[in-house]
Amino acid sequence: MHSRTKHIKIRHHFLREHISNGNCEITVIGIEKQLADLFAESLARDRLNYLIIELVIINLSQFS
């Protein structure tokens, strides 16, 4: 079991060290702002447009 969990422990200590040094910050992101959904799920058009705008891929307001 150790070989399967070793990478998790290494990542945990790596992140903990960087957070304590102030190199990164962990924040809670609400489900409506999860940009990864753009790549992982099929989405309704309004949700897709919102995520595209948030990623600044294109400015859809110029097409309205």
pLDDT tens track for 9-61: 888 888 889 999 999 888 888 887 787 887 787 888 888 888 878 877 666 56
State how many domains the chain has. 1
| Residue 62 or 45, more confident | 45
Tokens of 51: 């995520």
Give the residue numbers spanning the domain of 23.
2-63
Q: What is the pLDDT of residue 53?
A: 81
